[in-house]
Amino acid sequence: METIAPIRETQARRLVRSDLDAVVAIDARVEGRSRRTYFERRLAAALREPDLHLQYAVDDAHGLAGYILGRVLEGEFGRSAPGVRLEVIGVRADAKGRNVGGRLLEALAAEAATRGARELRTAARWNDHTMLRWLEEHGFRLAPDHIVERAIDATAIEAPADGPVTLEEGRGPGHEIDYGAPEGNDYERLARDTCDVRAMMPADLPEIVRIDRVITGRDRAGYIARKLDEAMTESGVRVSLTARRDGAIVGFVMARADLGDFGRTDPTAIVDTIGVDPGYAHRGVGHALFSQLCLNLAALRIERVETIVAPRDLGLLGFLYNVGFAPSQRIAFTRAVA
């Protein structure tokens, strides 16, 4: 009787441009449709900024057996400690059951440790039982963060005026949210009259950094510059906004719209940061930003907007609920990096 030798995979290696077709094919088999544009952007971003992207592959005798895409976190999602976000993982159907995914994850974790990261972070839908089981088997635990989302239907956001807010930790003086202002602000008036809301541009960087410094008490010019570059070049759709009053930028929301991260299947916008100049607190700037953001997203046929909030940030959570957010069907997970 002939003995069939087991198929052996190679050691995990860096994902390269020539892997694109195989990555897209594996993903299309899982999702039922091609997401080539999404993966083209992720691979291009990794080539442009290799220090911020961790992307690995495992090969076997039949070619690419699996891949994993990670992104270094520099302050997003209410954290200041360095971490790595697991964005996408895929294994070829006939390679499953051989721990290809586990080996890819360990390669990602090992590289994350060399970057000083303390944790891996990801998210999954509560009813994606296969993914939830895989995360549990590989050491992930529930994260304390709240993932919240809002369906995009371009309806009015009628809520009290807001104070300066941000999605990052370490806010400095003036952090407050005013729930006592009169209600009933009309959606169109918020978008047009409260302040001048327009698309974010690279020239806006100094003013955005200034507002962020006032709110957080830290100089995060490098981080803000990279987020702005991501919003301008990496995102599938440019949706970041600034708000102006008295001829100056007084608020901003940094968001991106893409399809693919964290296993998302519907067009989703992700809000990374919102900031309002404390000198313009309680004047509806934050609500105007979100009103215009939702209007723009609706025109782009993006179905929902999502963000993640640290559990201690009850003020920000209350603000988001006031502008129509609700608990997401997706759960945040974390795993310590040894």
Series of mean pLDDT values for 10-residue runs along the chain (338 residues): 52 94 94 87 87 94 96 67 89 94 96 93 94 96 94 59 43 36 44 77 94 88 84 72 93 80 68 90 89 89 90 87 92 92
Q: How far apart are alpha carbons 269 and 294 in whole angstroms?
A: 10
Cβ-count burial 290-304 (b if 16+ within 10 Å, e if not): bbbbbbbbeebebeb
Print the domain residue range for 313.
Answer: 147-329
Cα separation of 247 and 226, whole Å?
Answer: 25
Give the per-residue pLDDT at 141. Answer: 97
CA distance 126 to 132: 8
161 plus 213 within the same structural domain: yes
Residues 208, 316 share a domain: yes
In a domain, residue 178? The reply is yes
pLDDT of residue 93: 95
Examine the fold and report which residue of 99, 117, 135 is the final residue of a domain before the chain moves on: 117
Is residue 128 situated within a structural domain? no
Does residue 7 belong to any structural domain of this protein?
no
pLDDT attached to residue 75: 61
pLDDT given at position 293: 92
Q: Residue 299: its pLDDT value, please?
A: 87
Tell me the three state secondary structure of residue 133.
helix
Q: How many domains does the chain have?
A: 2
Q: How far is the C-alpha of 145 from the C-alpha of 317, rounded, in Å?
A: 11
Res 265: pLDDT: 57
Whole-number pLDDT of residue 332: 95
Indicate whether 112 belongs to any domain. Answer: yes
Q: Are residues 91 and 157 in the same domain?
A: no
93 and 52 in a common domain: yes
Same domain, 302 and 164: yes
Q: Where are the beta strands (DSSP E) in 15-161?
A: 53-60, 63-73, 83-91, 119-125, 141-142, 146-151
H or E segment and range at residue 334: strand 330-336
Domain with residue 309: its CATH number is 3.40.630.30
On whether both 59 and 102 belong to a single domain, the answer is yes
Structure tokens at 195: 């302040």
57 and 182 belong to one structural domain: no
Which letter does DSSP use for residue 288 in this model? H
Asked if residue 260 belongs to a domain, the reply is yes
Asked whether residue 257 is assigned to any structural domain, the reply reads yes
Note whether 88 and 176 are same-domain residues. Answer: no
Instruction: Count CA atoms closer than 13 A to 152's CA, side-chain side.
Output: 23
Q: What is the dihedral of CA 221, 227, 230, 232, to 10 degrees?
A: -80
Place of tokens 């559990």: 311
Domain identity same for 60 and 183: no
Same domain, 20 and 93: yes
Residue 136 lies in a domain: no
What is the reported pLDDT for 1?
40
Query: Does residue 6 lie in a domain region?
Result: no
Which two three-digit tokens encode residue 90? 């895929």
In this structure, the answer to whether residues 113 and 38 fall within a common structural domain is yes
CA dihedral 240, 221, 44, 256 (to 10 degrees): -20
The reported pLDDT for the residue numbered 263 is: 52
- pLDDT at position 171: 40
Kindly report whether the global pTM for this prediction surpasses the value 0.95: no
Residues 63 and 210 in one domain: no
